[in-house]
């Protein structure tokens, strides 16, 4: 059975770009007659203002986008991440690293414009004695100055994106061994999202194109942990007037939920879907977009003729 999700980070309220991702993931789930889940990605708690997760859920509900199951919060899943790190360590897939960001910046230099993969210093020269893993309980955030990196395979990672087509990335050359637990004690996004997708039984991931670059790293982690790989669809982004991707970091304004249909109409245009008919109710608008989405992204080509 199809199981999709929308996973906002509650560092600020929803903006136009996040609504596009939310609507696309919801439509894909409904078009497949599947389940749509919400996961609050608050693993980086210091960046999440109190009450922001509740505000995001209220905004989604006002748009008619409500989770089919209980909402998952990453901040409540720290023991699961510690368990996954323990599994990776038991199979020698990770190693401790004390390299600072400053050291890496000095290594590459400000004029280096290409990929900046981790040079593998702590892989080639392991730290002795080996630092202890985080507590199996995983509930405490302890900044011990030690990061844990995944040993990345040397072969390229290939997958097929439902929208972008065939993709490949040489993670070892473009990224290098990447961090799964940070030196400040926080869990890295890549490990958390892979563990959470598996725990929620996610079969299809629908998200913005800016996250497509993460896919290869997540596939590497899925393989290392013995987890299945979902199907991926990466959608168009919303751009600010200055040409940058609209985001909280660039001052994106919170959405107006007073007129839900008009807010979703703007997202539908980005997704190349027809605008809702004038005066359409929220329910009718969503139903029309589900039908349009099914025709474009779900039905086989011959059925579209």
Q: What is the 3-state secondary structure (H, E, C) of 204-268?
A: EEEEEHHHHHHHHHHHHHHHHHCCCCCEEEEECCCECCCCCECCCCCCCCECCCCCHHHHHHHHH
Residue 271 confidence (pLDDT) above 80? yes
263, 257 Cβ separation under 8 angstroms = yes
Residue 142 confidence (pLDDT) above 70? no
Residue 248 confidence (pLDDT) above 70? no
At residue 290, the pLDDT reads 98
Residue 305 confidence (pLDDT) above 50? no
Residue 250 confidence (pLDDT) above 70? no
To 10 degrees, what angle do helices 260-270 and 16-31 make?
80
Q: What is the per-residue burial (b if ≥16 Cβ within 10 Å, else e) of 278-297? A: eeeeeeebbebbbebbbeeb
At residue 140, the pLDDT reads 57
Q: pLDDT for 82-128, tens place per residue?
A: 999 999 999 999 999 999 889 988 888 777 777 889 999 999 999 99
How much is the mean pLDDT over the chain? Answer: 92
Q: What is the per-residue burial (b if ≥16 Cβ within 10 Å, else e) of 145-172? A: ebbbbbbbeeeebebeebeeeebebbbb
**3-75+238-304 homologous superfamily:** HUPs (3.40.50.620)
| 78-191 belongs to CATH 3.90.1170.50 | no
If you average pLDDT over residues 6-15, what whole number do you get? 95
Confidence of residue 61 (pLDDT cuts 50, 70, 90): very high
At residue 144, the pLDDT reads 77
At residue 108, the pLDDT reads 87
Confidence of residue 242 (pLDDT cuts 50, 70, 90): low
Q: pLDDT for 149-165, tens place per residue?
A: 999 999 999 999 999 99
Q: pLDDT for 190-223, tens place per residue?
A: 999 999 999 999 999 999 999 999 999 999 999 9
- Total-model pTM: 0.93
Cα 21 to Cα 2, 15, 90: the distances in Å are 18, 10, 37
Same fold for the domain at 3-75+238-304 and the one at 78-191?
Answer: yes
Give the start-to-end residue ranges of the domains of the chain. 3-75+238-304, 78-191
If you average pLDDT over residues 51-63, what whole number do you get? 97
Residue 239 confidence (pLDDT) above 50? yes
């Amino acid at each position: 059975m199809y199981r999709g999700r929308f996973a906002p980070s509650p560092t600020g309220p929803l903006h136009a770009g996040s609504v596009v991702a939310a609507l696309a993931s919801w439509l894909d789930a409904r078009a497949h007659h599947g389940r749509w889940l919400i996961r609050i990605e608050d693993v980086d708690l210091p960046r999440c203002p109190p009450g922001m997760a509740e505000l995001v859920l209220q905004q989604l509900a006002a748009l008619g986008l409500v989770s089919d199951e209980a909402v998952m919060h990453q901040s409540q899943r720290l023991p699961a991440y510690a368990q996954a790190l323990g599994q990776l360590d038991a199979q020698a897939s990770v190693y401790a690293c004390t390299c600072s960001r400053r050291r890496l910046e000095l290594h590459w230099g400000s004029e280096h414009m290409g990929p900046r993969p981790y040079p593998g210093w702590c892989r080639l020269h392991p730290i002795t004695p080996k630092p202890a893993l985080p507590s199996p309980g995983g509930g405490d955030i302890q900044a011990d100055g030690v990061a844990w990196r995944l040993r990345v395979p040397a072969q390229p990672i290939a997958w097929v994106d439902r929208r972008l087509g065939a993709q490949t990335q040489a993670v070892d050359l473009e990224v290098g061994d990447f961090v799964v637990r940070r030196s400040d004690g926080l869990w890295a996004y890549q490990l958390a999202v892979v563990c959470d997708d598996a725990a929620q039984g996610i079969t299809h991931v629908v998200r913005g194109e800016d996250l497509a670059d993460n896919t290869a790293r997540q596939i590497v982690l899925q393989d290392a942990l013995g987890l299945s790989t979902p199907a991926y669809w990466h959608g168009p982004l919303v751009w600010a007037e200055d040409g940058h991707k609209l985001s909280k970091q660039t001052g994106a304004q919170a959405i107006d939920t007073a007129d839900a249909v008009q807010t979703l109409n703007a997202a539908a245009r980005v997704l190349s879907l027809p605008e809702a008919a004038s005066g359409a109710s929220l329910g009718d608008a969503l139903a029309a977009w589900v039908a349009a989405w099914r025709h474009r992204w779900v039905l086989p080509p011959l059925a579209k003729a």
